[in-house]
């Protein structure tokens, strides 16, 4: 039944969560806003935040990216890297990053393959606003679904801080 639902949701552009908290992270390589390949396996030993957003340069996505950018030095101090992920092209995320002088790396997932692997809904080419936190051991530590773009960065930072206590 699950495979039938996965196939059905895949046809309409949605996905069924395939990864849960505590499971190994889905390994991927995507291009960032500068066209450089980012490979998750290369980040072992760090906290990795993947925040999925619908569309570059829209109000909620801009607010979320700016909030993460404001907190980037604090994330760095906890050995955490932050990536905004969308189905936008490399060219589009580069313009977005430059327009707002963003401090976070943005990743292009044009077919939504990484998003779907993490259970992020992709409908008509737009990702749902979900955040995945990957622990240094490359296991999914926390999954936030349908996040508020303004409070998500603080909530994620607090989760990482509390995990280190």
Reported as a single tens digit per residue, the pLDDT across 82-116 is: 999 999 999 999 999 999 999 999 999 999 999 99
Dihedral sign from CA coordinates of 41, 32, 97, 114: negative
Residue 114 domain boundaries: 18-163
Inter-residue contact 38 to 29 (CB < 8 Å): yes
Residue 11 scores a pLDDT above 80 = no
pTM: 0.89
Residue 2, in any domain of the structure: no
Residue 131, in any domain of the structure: yes
Percentage of the chain with pLDDT > 90? Answer: 87
Burial class of residue 20 in the structure, from the number of CB atoms within 10 Å of its CB (0-12 exposed, 13-18 middle, 19+ buried): exposed
How many CB atoms are located within 10 Å of the residue 110 CB?
14
Residue 12, in any domain of the structure: no
CATH number of the domain where residue 33 is located: 3.40.30.10
Residue 92, in any domain of the structure: yes
Residue 128, in any domain of the structure: yes
Distance in Å from the first CA to the final CA of the chain: 41
DSSP helix/strand/coil, 50 = strand
128-161 exposure pattern, b = at least 16 Cβ within 10 A, e = fewer? bbbbbbbbeebebbbbbeebebeebbeebbebbe
Residue 8, in any domain of the structure: no
Q: How many domains does the chain have?
A: 1
pLDDT band of residue 164 (cuts 50, 70, 90) is confident
Q: Is 61 assigned a catalytic role?
A: yes
Residue 70, in any domain of the structure: yes
Q: Two tokens at 34?
A: 């500068």
Residue 13, in any domain of the structure: no
Considering the candidates 61, 90, 104, 114, report the single residue annotated as catalytic. Answer: 61
């Amino acid at each position: 039944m699950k495979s039938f639902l996965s196939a059905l949701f895949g046809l309409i552009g949605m996905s069924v969560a395939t990864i849960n908290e505590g499971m190994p992270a889905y390994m991927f390589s995507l291009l960032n806003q500068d066209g450089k390949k980012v490979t998750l396996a290369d980040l072992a030993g760090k906290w990795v935040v993947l925040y999925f957003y619908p569309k570059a340069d829209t109000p909620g996505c801009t607010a979320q990216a700016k909030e993460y950018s404001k907190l980037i030095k604090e994330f760095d101090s906890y050995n955490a890297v932050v990536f905004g992920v969308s189905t936008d092209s490399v060219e589009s995320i580069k313009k977005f990053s430059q327009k707002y002088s963003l401090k976070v790396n943005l990743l292009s997932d044009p077919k939504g393959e990484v998003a779907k692997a993490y259970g992020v809904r992709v409908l008509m080419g737009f990702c749902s606003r979900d955040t995945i936190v990957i622990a240094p051991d490359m296991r999914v530590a926390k999954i936030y679904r349908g996040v508020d773009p303004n409070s998500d960065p603080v909530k994620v930072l607090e989760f990482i801080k509390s995990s280190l206590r």
